[in-house]
Amino acid sequence: MSAPAARAASITAILLVATATVGQAQVGGLLKKGKDAAAGKAVESAAAQVPPKTVDVLPCAVTYDQLDALERGLKAELDAAPSAKKQAEDRQKSIESEQKAYEKAMTDYNKKSEAWEACRDRIENDPATEKKLAELEAKSEADRAKAEASMDEEALEAQAKRVQAAAERVANGTATAADRQTMADFQAQMAKMQQANNEIMATSAEAGALTEAQRERLKKCGEKPVQPTSPSSLGWSPERVLLETGAKAAGMDPETYKVVRDCAIKSANLRLSSKNPDADRTNAKLNEIQQTLNSMRSANVPI
């Protein structure tokens, strides 16, 4: 082999290694003229000379339909490459503008939130209201304890039986003065219990009225301020623009598209053996994807 031929073979080998190992090219070199364009064509030519390897299964799980959708996405990336850098810059400026607006909105929100919380704190922790509610609660507990003390279930049950017997004697005209006293005592006991219950209910109603009045005063503080939504923190790059462009064309979400894309890049120079029933159309699609990838490399589009 002559010296020039040997040098050409060496250059081709280097380009093949570079093609297999370089993850993503710098987008600043999109469609550059001169030697970058020439280098891209050399990469495409070198990659085309590598014969596909036959395998029984692909190294990652991917369906034909996903490969078909990916092919549309890759072509969309190739078409969008010339304007990707400007799109990324424009979107990044938009994010920065949104961030400034968000920071201003947060300053306003914090002021309103502090005023709202201070207003509610004054009302909810009003000393006079708290003191009155505490007094009513103590009175209610005392009334309840007093009522429970006067309600001995066994004594009431025994008294009820005596009253029932006395009432029967009154009805048949054989009642004595003791029977009438038994009934009078029972009525007095019931009246006492009813009075205790009324006092408990009155105390509860007074406490409820105080709480309701407090709620009405809280309305004057207005609705709770709503915290503004933070804009996306993701920065825009040409690679992201192309990824989302491709995902949209493929009808996938960006994350799924990236997984399928990475799988296809690994499999582009592979061909399924005849053992696989879907080999023919899958291999045809892999061939199309390989050609598109070569075109992207030639145009210095990030792979």
Closest by CA to 53, choosing from 281, 265, 267, 291, is 267
Backbone angles phi, psi at 54, to 5 degrees: -90, 130
Contacts within 8 Å (CB) and 24+ apart, 121-130: 123/214, 123/217, 123/218, 123/221, 124/214, 124/218, 126/214, 129/210, 129/214
C-alpha span between 135 and 226 (Å, rounded): 37
**Distance separating alpha carbons of residues 84 and 78, to the nearest angstrom:** 10
User: Tens-of-pLDDT digits for all 303 residues of the chain?
Assistant: 444 333 333 433 333 333 333 333 333 443 344 444 444 445 444 545 578 999 999 999 999 999 999 999 999 999 999 999 998 899 888 888 889 999 999 999 999 999 999 999 999 998 998 898 898 889 888 888 877 776 677 877 888 888 899 898 989 989 898 888 988 988 888 888 888 888 888 888 988 998 999 999 999 999 999 999 988 766 788 999 999 999 999 999 999 999 999 999 999 999 999 999 999 999 999 999 999 999 999 999 988
